[in-house]
A and B are shown apart, each in its own frame.
Chain A
Amino acid sequence: DAGVIQSPRHEVTEMGQEVTLRCKPISGHNSLFWYRQTMMRGLELLIYFNNNVPIDDSGMPEDRFSAKMPNASFSTLKIQPSEPRDSAVYFCASSLVPTLNIQYFGAGTRLSVL
């Protein structure tokens, strides 16, 4: 199994630009999670989907952030416009429900907004 695949691995952009992060979950998994990791705040849940439907987006920091899951094998997290404080590592994770809440993480996208 290829695991959770995220792209790009690194993204450098300028303030005000649109950024799109991509995630391909493990085949057969039915839940997908987006997290953000910073030194100050640690790993924070942004949003998660069950069967492609957004369930809880209370962790999304602002309206500049949006996430979609058009099908079971693809999800995007978009930031528009981006700001320097959005710089972080963004992780996608997937799981198969019902299980014991075992999530498999991708390698992350390191975002730098200048």
Chain B
Amino acid sequence: TQLLEQSPQFLSIQEGENLTVYCNSSSVFSSLQWYRQEPGEGPVLLVTVVTGGEVKKLKRLTFQFGDARKDSSLHITAAQPGDTGLYLCAGGRGGGADGLTFGKGTHLIIQP
């Protein structure tokens, strides 16, 4: 059973466009994280959200945690080729000691 559903699975857009990817679950998480993974490397943490309704911004990236702490979105403004990669959302339940539940990810390609 896939507890975290990410959509879309694949996305290819032109440089300069905006995009949103989604992470949805029927379960409540104490925290939700977004990672970015490049080929041949491990996932790298972008942001952690813990409060329902929380919005965090990281330059051109905006992350939002749903009010019920079951879903999240990542919005990228004016996408650049350097944004290309696999974006993973991950839910945590414990206080930091538990393993994460990952979605399958969104493969993002930004074409110049």
Contact = CB atoms under 8 A, between A and B. Distances in A.
Interface of A: 4, 31, 33, 35, 41-45, 48, 50, 55-56, 59, 91, 93, 95, 97-108
Q: For chain B, what secondary structure do more than half of its interface residues adopt (helix, strand, loop), or is it mixed?
A: loop
Contact of B44 (A50, A98, A105, A108): A105
9 contacts: A42-B102, A59-B99, A99-B96, A101-B30, A101-B95, A101-B97, A101-B98, A102-B33, A104-B45
Contacts of B45: 102-104
Given A42-B104, A43-B102, A101 B96 contact: yes
Given A97-B96, A100-B48, A100-B96, A105 B42 contact: yes
A66 to B, nearest CB: 17
A44 B92 contact: no
Interface residues of B, number: 27
**Lowest 4 A-B CB distances belong to which pairs?**
A105-B42, A42-B104, A45-B99, A101-B92
A92 to B, nearest CB: 8
Interface of B: 2, 30-31, 33, 40-45, 48, 50, 88, 90, 92, 94-105
Contacts of B92: 101
